[in-house]
Each structure stands twice: as C-alpha cells, then as structure tokens.
Structure 1
Amino acid sequence: MFEDDDRRRYAVVRNHEDQYSVWPEDRAAPEGWALVGVAGSKSECLAHISAVWTDLRPLSQRS
C-alpha cells in the first residue's frame, strides 16, 4: 500500500475546509481536494503541512 512506501513522491492537498493531507503525486487529487503546489517525500510534505496548518479546526468551525 502507498501509505507505507516512503520512496514515493507525494503532493500536499487541501480541501474547502482548509484541511491538509498528502497524496501520491502520480495520482489526481481526490474529489474535493486541490493541489497546493508543494511536492516531495512524505516527510517533506508532512513538514510543510505542520508549518502551515496551525489551526486544525475545520474552516467552518473557526470564528
């Protein structure tokens, strides 16, 4: 499964609630998610997400 393959390249995706995830770079982003322009190893993508996703609440729950 791709979750355990750290040699694969990933892309960072974001949904309409401003939530982030990693997705295999060679696959189209899943419905409801958009590429944010950051790609690399899983650890690089997760580091980017950690730096930018500081409020984990869905956008609709933020005041």
Structure 2
Amino acid sequence: MTNPFDDPDKNYTVLVNAAGEHSLWLSGIPVPGGWDVVHGPRGRVSCLDYISENWRDLRPNPAARRAA
C-alpha cells in the first residue's frame, strides 16, 4: 500500500496551527480544527517548497509555548 501523501500528481495544501507548525495536507480532505490553510491547493513540490521557505524553526513559536 502506498502513502497518498507521497503522490506527486495530487494537489495539496499547507496548513499552519497556532504554534506556527506547518503540515502538508491533501487537498479535498477536511482541515482539522485548529489548523488554517496558508498555501494551495498546489502540487506537492510547491507545497513542500512553501514549508521549507516559511517554517525555519521546527519548534513551536515562543508565544504559543507560553499560552499552552
């Protein structure tokens, strides 16, 4: 069985939560609570490029850590 998130021919979106964490998400699947679409729908490479360019620090942002 293949992972649908590895399919380069599907459209994806990039999600971000309040902690600033990013997620690659298949277009057409409902967005989970607490996450917002910030890029897409686009191809997989475009979405991965967006994540690479916009999520520099993989740790949650300090404001989100204080609020938790």
TM-score of the pair, normalised by structure 2: 0.77
Determine if contact 2:5/2:25 at 8 Å carries over to the other structure.
no
Aligned equivalent of 1:51? 53
Select the structure of larger CA radius of gyration.
Answer: 2
Residue identity matched to 1:54: R
Q: CA RMSD in A?
A: 1.6
Point out where structure 2 has 5 or more consecutive residues left out of the alignment: none
- Residues 1:42 and 2:44 are matched in the alignment: yes
Point out where structure 1 has 5 or more consecutive residues left out of the alignment: none
TM-score of the pair, normalised by structure 1: 0.82
Q: 1:11 aligns with which of 10, 13, 18?
A: 13
Q: Distance in 2 between matches of 1:23 and 1:51?
A: 17
Shift of 1:4: 2.4
Count of residue pairs the alignment pairs up: 61
